[in-house]
Amino acid sequence: MGETNESSTDETLQRSKPFSFVLCIQHFLFTFIMKIARVIFIIIYGKKGHSMSAITEPLLLESATSLAEKIRTKQLSSVKVLEAFIRRVEEVNPMFNCVVDKRFDEALKAAAEADALVASGAYTTEELLRVKPFLGVPISTKDCIAVKDFLYTAGLYARKGVRAKEDSDAMGLMRKAGAIPFCLTNVSEMCMWWESSNTLHGRTRNPYDTNRIVGGSSGGEGCIQSLAASPFGLGSDIGGSIRMPSFFTGTFGHKPSKNIVSNKGQFPMPFSSEQDSFLGIGPMCRYAVDLKPILKVISGERSNLLNLDEPVDLKKLKYYYQESDGGSRLVSPVDEDLTYSLRKVVEYLQGSTGISATKIQLDSFKQSAAIWFANMKDDSGHGFGHQLANLNGDINPIKELLKFCVGQSKHTFIGLITALVDDAQTPFGSPKYHHLVKKRNDLRSELQDLLGENGVLIYPTHPTVAPYHNEPLVRPLNFSYTGIINVLGFPATAVPLGLGAEGLPLGVQVIANFNKDRLCLAVAEELEKAFGGWVRPEVNI
Contacts of 164 (CB under 8 A, 6+ apart): 146, 147, 148, 149, 150, 151, 152, 265
Q: Which of 238, 302, 303, 235 is nearest to 269 (CA)?
A: 238
Q: Which of 306, 243, 132 is nearest to 510 (CA)?
A: 243
Q: Kindly state the DSSP code that residue 334 receives in the 8-state scheme.
A: P
Q: How far apart are CA 36 and CA 472, in angstroms?
A: 14
Q: Kindly state the DSSP code that residue 343 receives in the 8-state scheme.
A: H
Secondary structure of 391-415 as H, E, C letters: CCCCCCHHHHHHHHHCCCCCCCHHH
Backbone angles phi, psi at 54, to 5 degrees: -65, 150
Q: How far apart are CA 488 and CA 224, in angstroms?
A: 29
Q: Positive or negative CA dihedral for 29, 35, 36, 40?
A: positive
How big is the chain, counted in residues? 541
Q: How far apart are CA 120 and CA 278, in angstroms?
A: 44
Q: How far apart are CA 56 and CA 69, in angstroms?
A: 22
Q: How far apart are CA 70 and CA 59, in angstroms?
A: 11
176 is catalytic: no
Say if residue 48 is exposed, middle or buried (CB neighbours under 10 Å; 0-12, 13-18, 19+): middle
Catalytic one of 78, 196, 217, 262: 217
Catalytic one of 142, 258, 410, 439: 142
Q: Kindly state the DSSP code that residue 62 receives in the 8-state scheme.
A: S
* C-beta of residue 504 within 8 angstroms of C-beta of residue 212: yes
* C-beta of residue 272 within 8 angstroms of C-beta of residue 179: no
Pairing of strands 455-459, 358-359: unpaired
272 is catalytic: no
432 is catalytic: no
Catalytic one of 197, 241, 246, 324: 241
- Which amino acids are annotated catalytic? 142, 217, 241
